[in-house]
Structure 1
Amino acid sequence: MLVFSWSLVVLLLVSSSWAEADVAVTEEDRSSELSVGELLERANRHRTPDFDEPPLIGGDIAIKPEGDRNADPCTARGCKWLKNTDGKVYIPYYIANHYSTRERDIIVRGLQSFSSVSCIRFRPYQNGDREWLSIESRNGCYSYVGRQGGGQTVSLSRQGCLYHGTVQHELLHALGFNHEQTRSDRDNHIKVHWNNIIDGMDYNFYKIDTLNQGTAYDYNSVMQYERYAFSKNNLPTMEPIPNSNVSFGKATQMSKNDIDRLNRLYQC
């Protein structure tokens, strides 16, 4: 009887572990079906920042408290990382040690994805580096736009931010890019339904003088949020024009246009 009881306990524990694993896999599978914009909005929806964290605009763009919410730092003062004499742009990074091996691998894969399509080379931080990306699990997913000087935080929270596309999205912010729906030519491609936006969130849709680099508006950009972003009533906040049925905001990784404008900005 004792043997039977212990066998039953072991069976129940194993079954419970399998059930938990199934739930985890199911949750991950569901997340992998979401676009980058959906993942970011979900991760930041109930964000409660610590006292030392920056305010955010656009859902995930960090700004300094005294910063102008409507100005693009890349056109206002310049924000590009410096190019080396060999034509490459080496950007030091430091990954905080609170990530698991698997989580770190996701981040590193995102960093390395730039080297095969551009002259951007992310490399580990070294003593003496004066500016670098400090990748940390803070509250939510966010990044400053462009090079800030010194160590600048890229937050990739362990709760909801560790996906290949979200890593690329935040790194593109750090490289100098804003969201597609805030492009200066947005109104030619996207109609914003202001009445459907969460109260106080309308600034997420303000146009700014962005660095379009002569590229076309891209509905498939990893920087384009989806149709219901920041909706207060489950009605669309954005729709494409002139064809409202065009799919947009579904990207799970950088598009060809994202890569083209990156290479144009850094003259790769």
Structure 2
Amino acid sequence: MHSTVDLSLTDGIVLVTVRLDNPAPVAQRVRLRNRLDGLVLPPRRGGVPEPGWDDTGFDGVVPADSTVALGYACPVDGDFSLDDDSDHSAVVAVTALGRASETDASVTATPDAAIRTLGAACPPADAVPVVTRDTALPNSKVDASSEDEEGDTESEERFEQNEGVDEKHDSVDSPHESTDDDVAAAIDDTLDDCGSSPTHSLDDDFVSFLAAAERRISLAERLDGASVREAASVLEHSSVRVATLDSLAADRARLRRLAERATKLADRAADADPDVDALRSIA
């Protein structure tokens, strides 16, 4: 068994890459042990470490006539440094344990193994249809009991479809340039109104859209300027995928359109003052 170790230091994180070459005609067991003081941050799938990894390193099998690359990260103190003469054995210990048995090579059914097969809970971005402002309004109402990820996506679509319903009314108003304060105020006021609705409606779709956008924006805020260690921790515990951050520009534009429209509607509501009592007698 031949091994090659590569080390790199980035923002207080040591990245350890080990290349294992097994030229033997039989599978070989191998053990990697981290010798640094920091925690082992192994590769993960579905939020759990890949098979063979634990808090101390890796135990696994290198197939016959094969090469396997392994890697992990480890946080270190600020005074830690690496140079070309750094002793790899002081960072990671690689031990060949001999021929692997059939039991070693088999995959054990565990809860973590099941979680790895599930993948991300969010639908891929490419699977979400692109809806334009000219799309016709849906006539059917949506089941209020649907609260899964697919339901959130459908709510966002319905909300976007209905953004253009009152454009013919808005077009007669004078242009209004909303400020950042207008944006925040309009969104907060609308959220309060929507939260009081006891049944599912377009208000619920609006709230679902805002909730999804807020999750994406919150993740972007936490990752903005974060170190490698901080970013790794944030992504590990976040339910939002990094790929969804590509929609931030669209979120920003849509939220500003919404705030501007809400401000116009509020102005129209303030200007409209019919004699309700007189109209009630007519009706």
TM superposition score normalised by structure 2: 0.22
User: Which protein shows a greater Rg?
Assistant: 2
Which has more helix, going by share of residues?
Answer: 2
| Higher RCO, Cα 8 Å, sep 6+ | 1
The structure where strand makes up a greater share of residues is 2
So what's the TM-score if we normalise by structure 1? Answer: 0.23
